[in-house]
Amino acid sequence: MSGTAGGDAGAVDDATSNPMRAPSARTLAELDGLVVGCRACPRLVAWREHVAEVKRAAFRDETYWGRPVPGFGDPRADVLVVGLAPAAHGANRTGRMFTGDRSGDFLFASMHRTGFASQALSVRADDGLTLDGIRVTAPVRCAPPENAPTPQERRTCGPFLARELALVEPRVVVVLGGFGWQAVLATLAEQGWAVPRPRPAFAHGAEVRLRRVDGDGELALVGCFHVSQQNTFTGRLTPAMLDAVLVRARALASGAG
Ligand code: SF4
């Protein structure tokens, strides 16, 4: 897999079981190790590595990450921001969630304005950005073709998000976009959370309270239009709208609401 930052062909068989091993991860570092070495979804492994090999012309001199992308940010965050999956030439290139594309520029600028991020700039994994009180992750950790993971791929990857939730214990999850909303609700339902039926509909600003089936955990879900260029260039999602969602998430996390 020349052209990518990693390469562990000898671990192929073992790495297909990484999601099943996620519940045993005792720390985020252990979990991240399982995530970045995962090869459980053949279609996504092939795509992420193909993109990393072919590259986009603007990045032809860069070494793409080309692997699954772990969560990024505060390990004890009260607010978890969840998208759908890494972008092919964003996080799949830089190795850090929402880093290296316009979506991330929009998101981290808002986090900086609302006091969650140390800087608005997010261009590569070593750019110095740190997050306080917030973390970003996804229910699917590999860049999918057409930004569309299959239901099976989402199910296969689910244990990683479930374990991240258990280790971080956020109070609020901000879900970006309707696809992510459905994916997160489905993942939570499969991973031991009591999700109402019919499932709550996505809307910008929608709020839903969830509990674990075993009663050991509680979450507030907040919907937000995705930070894609399709939304931000057209004004469907403005900086003020995203700032308001993050301010609301902070208030919910502090018990207001
Ligand atoms: S999407 Fe998730 S489960 Fe599938 S290969 Fe990537 S990290 Fe593994």
Residues in the chain, how many? 257
69 CA distance to ligand 1 centroid (A)? 9
Kindly report, residue by residue over 229-254, the tens digit of the pLDDT: 999 999 999 999 999 999 999 999 99
186 CA distance to ligand 1 centroid (A)? 16
User: Is the dihedral angle over the CA atoms 38, 43, 47, 50 positive or is it negative?
Assistant: positive
Q: Is the CB of 140 under 6 A from ligand 1?
A: yes
Helix (H) / strand (E) element for 223: namely: strand 218-224
> If you take atom 2 of ligand 1, which residue's CA is the nearest one?
157
| Mean of pLDDT values over 148-165 | 95
Measured N-to-C along each axis, helices 102-113 and 239-253 cross at an angle, to the nearest 10 degrees, of: 50
Q: Is the CB of 19 under 6 A from ligand 1?
A: yes
> If you take atom 4 of ligand 1, which residue's CA is the nearest one?
41
Residue type, 134: I
Domain 70-253 has CATH 3.40.640.10: no
Kindly report, residue by residue over 64-120, the tens digit of the pLDDT: 999 999 999 999 999 999 999 999 999 999 999 999 999 999 999 999 999 999 999
Distance CA 239, CA 57 (A): 29
Given a contact cutoff of 8 angstroms between Cβ atoms, the answer to whether 19 and 158 are in contact is yes
pLDDT higher than 70, residue 7: no
Residue type, 133: G
**For the sheet containing 218-224, what is the strand order?**
72-73, 134-137, 79-82, 172-176, 218-224, 207-212, 193-194
Q: Which atom of ligand 1 approaches the CA of 45 most closely?
A: 5
Q: What percent of the chain clears pLDDT 90, i.e. is strictly above it?
A: 88
55 CA distance to ligand 1 centroid (A)? 20
Residue 213 tokens, joined: 């089936």
> If you take atom 6 of ligand 1, which residue's CA is the nearest one?
142
Give this prediction's pTM: 0.92
- According to DSSP, the residues that pair with 82 across neighbouring strands are 137, 175
